Amino acid sequence: MTRKQWGLGIASIAALALFPVAVGGNPYYIHLAETILIYAILLFGLDIVVGYTGEVSLGHAGLFGIGSYTAGIFFFKLGVPYVLVIVAASVGVTALFGAILALPALRVTGPYLAMVTLAFGTIIQILINEMTFLTEGPLGIKVPKPSLLGYKLNELEYFYFVAALMLLALVTVNRILRSHLGRAFQALRDSPVACDCMGVSVYRYKVYAFVISAAMAGLAGSLYTYSEEYISPNTYNFELTILFLLAVIMGGRKTRSGPLLGALIVVTLPSLLSDISLFRGIATAAAVLGVILAAVLLLKRQKTWREVIVPVTSVVGMAVFSYYLENIVDWRLTIFGFMTLFVVYYLQDGIIGYLRGAADRLWPHRATAKVAEGADADGSRAWAPPAKAALTSGNLLEASNILMQFGGLKALNAVDLYVAKGAIHGLIGPNGSGKSTMMNVLTGIYRPTDGKVVFNGNSIVGKTPSEIALAGIARTFQNVQLFGEMTATENVLVGLHHTFHSNLFDILFNTRRYREEEKAAHQRAAGILQFVGLADMANEEARNLPYGKQRLLEIGRALGLDPSLLLLDEPAAGLTAPDIKELIQIIRKIRDHGITLILIEHHMDVVMTISDFVTVLDFGQKIAEEKPSLVQSDPKVIEAYLGSSMADPAHDAADPAPA
């Protein structure tokens, strides 16, 4: 931790400790703050799902309810007196329910997942209502403040108990998200396909994320039970779920401060909204501010009338509406709805994200101040793959009789591809000839309709992309598939995910094993970045790199897997001439390290200079497989690229792609 973080930590602990004193022990405010802390715990967890893995969960009110009711039932029905046991049970039970939901539901994504989690939340609310023998149904359960180690906590002491657990949750979530788990969560949002092909199973890590998130909801739920001292089914409804989501996106995703701020807003909002004159004041201020901002933007010509008309009308409309209203409480949900719309369209990164962006714009050096660590000038620490068994002759990969059929189209028809160990094997052919399909078959993204793929003596047909990646086949993508919101170093670290053997325990307690693995991985990542010439851009977000560098970073990330076979899908596409030279050198060096390569490329000069063998595909069929020099004079190959002598040569040369 840096000094700044220590300072921040101590300041926040002091603020939490002094808060009750500051409000003069007023029980109303203490309870309000307690609720904010409890919500924040849940929101830390929800942010893992929403902010990091990028999925929408509408089931968190249900999970929160499970946590609450587990505590209630343990205390009321089973008579367990120990608060720590009860809290732990809530966490465990809720995590279990999270897993039961996640295992089927996370096979789908996006809107499907949103609806499925919504269905889950609805089922939970029904079950709480109906299973009266456990939950007392609509009557609810009364639970007094707990005793800790035989000592009965009062209102204020319970506040400190919640505050301590909130800090614990904060540290836990921070540690998880900073670790390789957190990197996996982030990577699978940015590019699921690439994530699978780096040996990080998207499905599995989504389930992990969801279960961790559920555990947080369970913790929050059990604390809520003691805080309210009474629970009933109606609390855990759809409205609460929306409130949680609003809090996360409004506060700012992928931060810890965002959920805290979001919790503060959604907890205090109802009390703010119950006061009509206060609401009128806020709405008027917002309208004035909105009009001024729009006027400034219009005068500076940064925005057009069309762009500002909607937000301006809505804030002004809101202000007018507030004077027309007599009873604000009835319109609470409408206001929540409008806030959600506003955040979704105009504040996508949340308040914290917006403030950070503004700070970066004001002090630009803030963003670039960090320099690359671990790289050195003389290149002595540049990447070298771990020593492997000496090369033997023979084929590393044998794909035989591959048939890949999409409906009636045979994208690959009885194709054989044998790749010798240690070779650079070119794979060429006109557009649409099946090269990329072949890549996808070899990496497990497509399952071939028929045929065998044997890698290193083992069949890999039917294995998942992440299993194949871990077996030693790495790849890059024709349309660059980097993890855009992660830095170059982090991208490579995802490739190095397989080097981590630490479990959740190691991460939470920051054990020596975990620290050593993390350190080793960082060193290797720095070495790899240096190898592909990106050492000075190590801390740049991948999406901000120039295109040619992005392609190199993809190669670096693939090298992180320690592959024995590396598949490069058009690595030279869109590169400038000097970049291509650099690329050729890198490819040669990779081969010299004992890694076999398959190279798909349209730049014939590149393919012909560095390939040992070249396979030519046309319309899903293999038409040649020879040494480069022979391929160039093969009449079939010439015909495939330039058309037969009967056709119009000028036309075909200009457009080698068959329609």
Partner 1 sequence: MEILLQLLISGISLGMIYAVIAFGYQLTFATSGTLNFGQGEALMLGALVGLSLVSNIHGGPYLNYWLMIPLVLVFGALQGVVVEWIGVRPSIKTKSEFGWIMSTIALAIIFRNLAENIWGKDDLTFPSPVSAAPFQVFGANVLLMQVLVVVGAIAMMLAVELFNRKSIYGKAVVATSNDPAAAGLMGINTGMVITFSYALSSATAAFAGVLVAPLTLTGATMGTSLGLKAFAVAIIGGLTSGMGAVVGGLILGVCETLTGFYISTGYKEVPGLVLLLLVLAVKPAGLFGKAAIKKV
Query: Where do contacts with partner 1 occur on this chain (CB under 8 A)?
Result: 50, 54, 56, 58, 101, 103-105, 107-108, 110-112, 114-116, 118-120, 122-123, 126-127, 129-130, 193, 238-239, 242, 245, 249, 330-334, 336-338, 340-341, 344-345, 348, 406, 436, 440, 445-446, 477-479, 481
CB of 465 to partner 1, least distance (A): 10
Give DSSP secondary structure letters for 10-62: HHHHHHHHHHHHHTTT-HHHHHHHHHHHHHHHHHHHHHIIIIIS----S-HHH
Whichever of 19 and 238 has its CB closer to partner 1, that residue is: 238
Whichever of 163 and 441 has its CB closer to partner 1, that residue is: 441
Angle, CA 590 vertex, CA 501 and CA 637 arms, to 5°: 125
- As a whole number of angstroms, the distance between CA 134 and CA 129 comes to 10
- As a whole number of angstroms, the distance between CA 609 and CA 433 comes to 22
Q: Which residue has tokens 């101590």?
A: 10
Whichever of 327 and 458 has its CB closer to partner 1, that residue is: 327
How many other C-beta atoms can be found within 10 angstroms of the C-beta atom of residue 584?
A: 17
Whichever of 129 and 257 has its CB closer to partner 1, that residue is: 129
CB of 412 to partner 1, least distance (A): 14
**Among 542, 50, 526, CA closest to 252:** 50
E strands, 102-164, are: 141-142, 147-148, 151-152
CB of 638 to partner 1, least distance (A): 30
CB of 115 to partner 1, least distance (A): 5
Whichever of 22 and 344 has its CB closer to partner 1, that residue is: 344
Give residues with Cβ within 8 angstroms of 362, minimum separation 6: none
Q: How far is CA 496 from CA 86, 438, 523, in A?
A: 39, 25, 11
Helices in 229-326 by DSSP H: which ranges?
Answer: 238-251, 257-273, 276-299, 305-324
Helices in 478-539 by DSSP H: which ranges?
Answer: 488-495, 504-508, 512-531
Whichever of 66 and 118 has its CB closer to partner 1, that residue is: 118
Q: How far is CA 532 from CA 551, 579, 584, in A?
A: 10, 11, 11
Angle, CA 475 vertex, CA 474 and CA 478 arms, to 5°: 175
**8 A C-beta contact, residue 495 and residue 560:** yes
- As a whole number of angstroms, the distance between CA 191 and CA 185 comes to 11
**8 A C-beta contact, residue 375 and residue 526:** yes
- Do the strands 409-420 and 151-152 form a parallel or antiparallel pair, or are they unpaired? unpaired
**8 A C-beta contact, residue 244 and residue 235:** no
- As a whole number of angstroms, the distance between CA 514 and CA 503 comes to 8
Whichever of 198 and 525 has its CB closer to partner 1, that residue is: 198
Whichever of 164 and 329 has its CB closer to partner 1, that residue is: 329
Whichever of 154 and 334 has its CB closer to partner 1, that residue is: 334
Whichever of 13 and 123 has its CB closer to partner 1, that residue is: 123
**8 A C-beta contact, residue 66 and residue 94:** yes
**8 A C-beta contact, residue 99 and residue 211:** yes
CB of 237 to partner 1, least distance (A): 10
CB of 165 to partner 1, least distance (A): 30
Whichever of 132 and 609 has its CB closer to partner 1, that residue is: 132
Whichever of 478 and 499 has its CB closer to partner 1, that residue is: 478
CB of 348 to partner 1, least distance (A): 8
CB of 646 to partner 1, least distance (A): 31
Whichever of 127 and 134 has its CB closer to partner 1, that residue is: 127
CB of 178 to partner 1, least distance (A): 24
CB of 479 to partner 1, least distance (A): 8
Q: Which residue has tokens 């967890």?
A: 45
CB of 248 to partner 1, least distance (A): 11
Q: Please report which helix (H) or strand (E) contains residue 479, including its range.
A: none
**8 A C-beta contact, residue 372 and residue 539:** yes
CB of 332 to partner 1, least distance (A): 8
- As a whole number of angstroms, the distance between CA 591 and CA 599 comes to 12
DSSP letter at 415 equals: E
How many other C-beta atoms can be found within 10 angstroms of the C-beta atom of residue 348?
A: 12
Q: Please report which helix (H) or strand (E) contains residue 230, including its range.
A: strand 230-231
CB of 247 to partner 1, least distance (A): 13
Whichever of 118 and 187 has its CB closer to partner 1, that residue is: 118
Whichever of 127 and 642 has its CB closer to partner 1, that residue is: 127
Whichever of 239 and 634 has its CB closer to partner 1, that residue is: 239
Whichever of 130 and 275 has its CB closer to partner 1, that residue is: 130
E strands, 577-620, are: 596-600, 613-618
CB of 343 to partner 1, least distance (A): 8
CB of 79 to partner 1, least distance (A): 27
**8 A C-beta contact, residue 443 and residue 563:** no
CB of 344 to partner 1, least distance (A): 5
Which strands make up the sheet holding 596-600, listed edge to edge? 473-475, 565-569, 596-600, 424-428, 613-618, 621-626
What are residue 450's DSSP bridge partners?
403
Q: Kindly state the tokens that stand for 578.
A: 């000097």
CB of 432 to partner 1, least distance (A): 13
